[in-house]
Structure 1
Amino acid sequence: MPASVKTELVRAKTDKADARLIARYCQMHRPAPWVPPTDEIVTLQALVQRLDDLLGLHNMENNRLETAEAAAQPSIEAVLVTINQQIDTVRRQIQEHIDDHPDLKSQKKRLLSIPGIGDNTTATLLAFISPLERFHSAKQLVAYAGFNPRIRQSGQWAGKTLIAKTGNVLLRKALYMPALTAKRYNPVITVFCDRLIAPGKRPMQVIIAAMRKLLHIAYGVLKSGQPFDPEKALA
């Protein structure tokens, strides 16, 4: 049951009760109107989601292959061949779809100017942060991706500060490997991570911060319409 229902001690679950609850919520919080994604974004989202499904299946079958008896291995290997073919097909569909739409193609070019971000990450970013206009700041986008901190504190006690993990899980998955790469090869991320390592931040804290920073940079290049410029970012 949603928290808003619990706080009002609502026990009835009917269409009329739900409608009144939604009306009160909208009156209180004034949420922005929902903007449906365009057809090309809906298609891109479907392809990116399918690719993620296939990669998950690939990992599962690979794990099975490592422990399978010899009699079962040919079947698993045959399935892996099919999955790999489908992965290649969907990846090609994604890139062709982006290249067929001028706006997506130009946005892709700007995102690829960021060291650490490649074709797969670009596709996920374009699929799930469009339209960018619904985010009034990079901070909102970070919250949407679930990278905002979840602070736990009561009196003198304070628990570990973790990321919220609410929001789009595919965005978080897509930025993990790019953050590792950017930590080494993106001068802005390298300097940023070194500043965090110096006072003793844990490795995973540093990587999560790098993922968040990459998302800030991606928002910046898409918002400005300009490619990534490390000299300006370090200034």
Structure 2
Amino acid sequence: MHKKIIGIDVGKKELRTAHKYEASNGKFKVKRKKFPNTLKGHTALLAWAKKITNKEGKEHIHFIIEATGVYYEGIATFLHDASSMISVLNPKYVKSFAESFGVRTKTDSKDALVLVEYGSAMHPDLWTPPPPEYRILLSYHRAIDSLKHRRTAILNRIEALEISHPAPGPILEEERRLLVEVSESIKRLEQQIKSHIRRHPGLKKEVELLMTISGIAWITSVLLVAVMQGGRRFKSAREAAAYLGLSVRENLSGTSLKGRSRLSKRGPGDIRKALYFPAITAMRYNPDVKALYNRLVQRGKVKMVAIGAAMRKLVHIAFGVLKHKRAYMALAT
């Protein structure tokens, strides 16, 4: 089956597309167009794609998107629901592919074209959206996480107001009212998550399995179940860690190290941040994570590199528990 490939570089507010085709003179040309990242923009993008590809023949359209943050989810789900062929790529693989062709400068127009070239060369698997129960679970978690950040900001303002002279009473009273309101919203959403999980026995079992891992509390288990879709989303633990931006990058030249090892930090930053404190806890109470952390520190690794490794180890353990549907058993003693 012959396919026409369209790359979509996704931003918060804008979608930039690229389509490479062979002109009548035998030379390859590129068509580009921008669309707003809204439902209206999604509809216009699909109509444009069908129009330009129908001029070249009746081939199927294959959309290639990079999974950056959360902003790709709307267009990806829209295209899938419209029965389009779509692949969602790990940013790490796209970056490596681009660098192999000497593309090192990141621009939106180049990004979309790189996606076209990746699709033509690599023939990536087709993407399907997560089952609704996982999608809803992740949405709940993100809403709670956003409210918790807001609550922290309010608490900081209250603390500052309480030590100011003279204390601005009406403002302080309003901030305290907002604090109660946000805290109650968090409680309501947590209860809604619990109700949602009870309605899906599979989710309940998966959350309970992850809570057998030292360092992973209830809210973190909810997040990992949603992201990993119960262990079905990724083929391996390494793939899961790479998606979350927890793979290690090293700058090497010959036998000399040019710079320190560091996390790739590609992929959803909100999820990566949510794993930081669970990893800190696991470094104290999880035998496997603790042994890894201590080993790296003894080898002279800087603290943040060792913490990043602990986060990655926690993801690997969670993936294994979900994949095999077995409670966690520590290997280290």
TM-score by length of 1: 0.87
Give the match for residue 86 of structure 1: 185
Residues 154-204 of structure 1 deviation map (CA, whole Å, 9 limit, x = unaligned): 565612322111112232122111111111111111111111111122221
- Return the match for 1:146 from 245, 265, 277: 245
Instruction: Give the count of matched residue pairs.
Output: 233
- Return the match for 2:146 from 53, 61, 76: 53
Q: CA deviation at 1:39?
A: 1.4
Q: Distance in 2 between matches of 1:157 and 1:216?
A: 27
CA contact (8 A) 1:148 1:163 kept: yes
TM-score by length of 2: 0.63
Give the match for residue 317 of structure 2: 217
Of 9-18 and 84-93, more deviation after overlay is shown by: 9-18
Give the match for residue 33 of structure 1: 126
**Unaligned runs of at least 5 residues, structure 1:** none
Q: Which residue identity lines up with residue 32 of structure 2 in the other structure?
A: K
CA contact (8 A) 1:124 1:170 kept: no
**Unaligned runs of at least 5 residues, structure 2:** 1-7, 10-16, 19-27, 34-48, 54-60, 64-112, 162-166
CA contact (8 A) 2:250 2:261 kept: yes
Q: Distance in 2 between matches of 1:61 and 1:143?
A: 34
- Return the match for 1:197 from 288, 297, 301: 297
CA contact (8 A) 2:230 2:323 kept: no
Q: Which has the higher contact order (CA 8 A, sep 6+)?
A: 1
CA contact (8 A) 2:241 2:315 kept: yes
Q: CA deviation at 1:67?
A: 2.5
Residues 51-106 of structure 1 deviation map (CA, whole Å, 9 limit, x = unaligned): 01101111121222222352311111100010011111111211221222111111
Larger radius of gyration: 2
CA contact (8 A) 2:289 2:310 kept: yes
Q: Distance in 2 between matches of 1:10 and 1:169?
A: 35
CA contact (8 A) 1:151 1:159 kept: yes
Give the match for residue 271 of structure 2: 171
Q: Distance in 2 between matches of 1:131 and 1:27?
A: 31
Q: Distance in 2 between matches of 1:96 and 1:173?
A: 26
Residues 104-158 of structure 1 deviation map (CA, whole Å, 9 limit, x = unaligned): 1111111001011010101111121216333111100000111012333456561
CA contact (8 A) 2:158 2:175 kept: yes
Of 77-86 and 17-26, more deviation after overlay is shown by: 17-26
Q: Distance in 2 between matches of 1:128 and 1:62?
A: 29
Q: Distance in 1 between matches of 2:116 and 2:293?
A: 45
Of 30-39 and 20-29, more deviation after overlay is shown by: 20-29
The correspondence of residues 44-193 of structure 1 with structure 2, limited to 5 A, is 44-68=137-161, 69-71=167-169, 72-130=171-229, 132-154=231-253, 158-193=258-293
Q: Distance in 2 between matches of 1:134 and 1:179?
A: 22
Residue aligned with 1:60, SS: helix
Residue aligned with 2:275, SS: helix
